[in-house]
Amino acid sequence: MTRVQSSPLATPVLGDDVAMEVFQWIGAFRALREALVISYNMQDYDFWGHGQLSYLLRRQISNGAKITLLTTPPPGRKGTKKAFKDKLSLLENLNQNGVEIHLNEQLHAKAYIFLDDRELLMTIVGSPNLTSRGFGVRGTSDNWLELALLTSDPDVYQATVALVTKKLLGHSETVDFATWVISNQNKIALAKGGT
């Protein structure tokens, strides 16, 4: 991971370094106690052949981690487009495997917040969505140029978790996945080939 010289409290990194950091936290290298993933857009990102997001999160949950995800609902008005179907499939997979999912149409934030079983923590806040373009290799023409700050400062961790809990998860438009499914049964039926 290439990092620029920075404060011992916060390190600026580009999108692919965010992907590496997220992988180090959800991969096989540590046991998580809690993870809070906030990403406007997301996909079942494959961490360089070391496992897809859904697999890595399932493994952490099987070891006792609490994983909370906040994202936007699958995109589209009718449910017939590939983007809707792909995100719906991912959310259903994560939901069935114990990820606590919350959805908010107005969400645009991106943050990755981790606490492991040794009380080590990491807060990553910036522009990268959890997608191949957001986490992609810098300099590749089809990837976004992304920037984030990483910090292991416990005060920033606590403040970020408190703000996310109160203002994002507690937002009047935020709903849990089960509530969203009930409200969108027709779109879901169309996505699955129903009428």
If pLDDT is split at 50, 70 and 90, which confidence band does 8 have?
low
Identify the pLDDT of residue 6. 47
Tell whether the model's pLDDT for residue 116 goes beyond 50. Answer: yes
Tell whether the model's pLDDT for residue 7 goes beyond 70. Answer: no
Nearest alpha-carbon partner for 80 in 184, 187, 177: 187
Domains, the chain, ordered by start: 11-191 (3.30.870.10)
pLDDT tens, position by position, 143-191: 888 999 999 999 999 999 999 999 999 999 999 999 999 999 999 998 8
Residue 57 tokens, joined:
């999160």
Provide the β-strand partners of residue 46: 52
Chain centre distance of CA 3: 22
Tell whether the model's pLDDT for residue 132 goes beyond 50. Answer: yes
pLDDT tens, position by position, 59-74: 999 999 999 999 999 9
- A 10 A CB-CB count for 1 gives 13
Mean pLDDT across 105-116: 97
Nearest alpha-carbon partner for 17 in 121, 145, 141: 145
CB 121 within 8 A of CB 32: no
If pLDDT is split at 50, 70 and 90, which confidence band does 194 have?
low
Q: The tokens 């990102």 sit on which residue?
A: 45
Out of 35-39, 128-132, 142-146, 170-174, pick the least confident: 142-146
Handedness of CA 93, 98, 104, 108 (dihedral sign): negative
Tell whether the model's pLDDT for residue 41 goes beyond 80. Answer: yes
If pLDDT is split at 50, 70 and 90, which confidence band does 195 have?
low
- DSSP class of residue 132 equals T
How many whole angstroms separate alpha carbon 114 and alpha carbon 60?
12
Which H or E element spans position 116?
A: strand 110-116
Of residues 99 and 48, more confidently modeled: 99
If pLDDT is split at 50, 70 and 90, which confidence band does 140 have?
confident
